[in-house]
Amino acid sequence: MGQHSSTPKEEDYRNLDFNFTEYFRKYKPEIKIISEETIHSIDLCIRKGDLNGARSIISDVLKIIDNAPINIAVTGESGGGKSSFINALIGIGPEDKGAAEVGVIETTMKRTPYKHPKIKTLTFWDLPGVGTQKFPPKAYLEEVKFEEYNFFIIVSATRFTKLELDLAQAIGIMKKNYYLVRTKVDVDLENEKRFKPHIFEREKTLSQIRSYSVNTFSDSKMAVPQIFLISNYDLSDYDFPVLMDTLIKDLPVLKRHNFMLSLPDITEAAIDRKNKAIQQFAYLEAFKTMFLATHPEAGIPRDNDVEKLKKSLNHYRQLFGIDDESLEFMAKDFQVPVGHLKEYIKSPNLLNTKRQEVLLEELLKSLEKFKSAYGWLTAIKLYIWKTFYLRQHFVNIVTEDAKVLLQWTNSKK
């Protein structure tokens, strides 16, 4: 085959078979991490051969996704389960370092931030209950800096009070989203079952709890919002998954990626959603890398490329809670050897087998081979996308491992 020019020009990219829009069509609108307008703009730049334009948009988007702060306010009456709710969301126990204190009586207007241990841009703010203050709702919101939060979650373990209803109304007037969460429904169900063992019906009791909350709004002549029934100690049950879906959909699109990565792996659907967030981000990174490779040197594999791939694998394992530290905690909780858990999964040894070492070596050698046959442009394109698909393979393996361990833990409950 004939030799191509050793240095690709930007015009050479015009006829490459890329379609940004086509890739993102497989993701539902509510879980896309970039907007349709942005997808179209990038696709248009690529079709026109405007690499600088496409590269600039992608770079800006990746930077915003990485650094955009997500601030979630949690408020409600003392004893309503706020602290337990926050701990459940950040995935730590009440006795762990950085946990929200459970059972603390509120006496001040101080708001307390709780950083997510894995997603540094995500902060949950424990706000004092409006009922503990002598402020009207509007003044309360100003005092706790309402403008800083993406949305509010109002938590109650019983009936929503008049003050909480007024607070919800004030939040709506100030053009912020709020969500009403009724906690401790597992306790209500257990009590109902104990006192009425012969006529107890789970779904009927849940319906009564929901109706009781709805009537609180109807009696106050207020529009009835969606009310989520949850247990802080059994997140996979009741309305918690629906609440998370709702929050993702309502968040600004560029903040969805990190929020989806933060959520606990309580259902297979939640695990799949995290997978989709990672896949989209990796796709954007691959395009950015390719567009930077307008000179051959940018596409040459380096000695540390294998280490970068290992780092990616370890990062995915951490995000899905199946890294070595997480497995140690899980083994301790279930009183089994950590080696027993590793027997069920593949990712800990994914890069230790001879087959995978050969695969990585082939990846690093592929550039020279294709450079000789097809020229730099095709070689760079092949190398970058082989790397992308290998990372995709990693995250899919980790995703399956997370599902296997979820099934295992559910079987032990």
Residue-level pLDDT at 317: 94
Domain membership flag for residue 85: yes
Residue-level pLDDT at 233: 84
Question: At which of 251, 274, 296 does a domain end?
Answer: 251
Q: 89 and 183 share a domain?
A: yes
Provide the residue type at 261 as one letter. L
Residue-level pLDDT at 392: 85
Q: 155 and 283 share a domain?
A: no
Q: 90 and 138 share a domain?
A: yes
CB atoms within 10 A of CB 337: 9
Q: 27 and 97 share a domain?
A: no
CATH number of the domain to which 206 belongs: 3.40.50.300
Q: 222 and 320 share a domain?
A: no
333 is in which domain, residue-wise? 10-66+265-412
The pLDDT tens digits of the residues spanning 338-383 come to 999 999 998 888 776 555 555 556 555 554 555 555 454 565 666 6
Distance CA 43, CA 268 (A): 32
Q: CA-based Rg of the chain, rounded to a whole angstrom?
A: 25
Residue-level pLDDT at 12: 44
Total domains present in the chain:
2
Domain membership flag for residue 357: yes
Domain membership flag for residue 2: no
Q: 231 and 310 share a domain?
A: no
Domain membership flag for residue 52: yes
Q: 60 and 77 share a domain?
A: no
Domain membership flag for residue 196: yes
Question: At which of 207, 225, 251 does a domain end?
Answer: 251
Residue-level pLDDT at 13: 44
Q: 333 and 355 share a domain?
A: yes
Residue-level pLDDT at 27: 92
DSSP 322-352: -SHHHHHHHHHHHT--HHHHHTT-SGGGTTT
Provide the residue type at 343 as one letter. E
Question: At which of 210, 225, 251 does a domain end?
Answer: 251
Q: 208 and 332 share a domain?
A: no
CA 90 to chain centre: 11
Residue-level pLDDT at 111: 86
Q: 76 and 57 share a domain?
A: no
Q: 202 and 304 share a domain?
A: no
Smallest CA-to-CA distance from 103 within 87, 122, 123 is with 87
Residue-level pLDDT at 223: 78
Q: Which residues of the chain have pLDDT under 70?
A: 1-19, 93-109, 131-135, 291-306, 352-383
In terms of DSSP bridges, do strands 112-115 and 151-156 run parallel, antiparallel, or are they unpaired?
Answer: unpaired
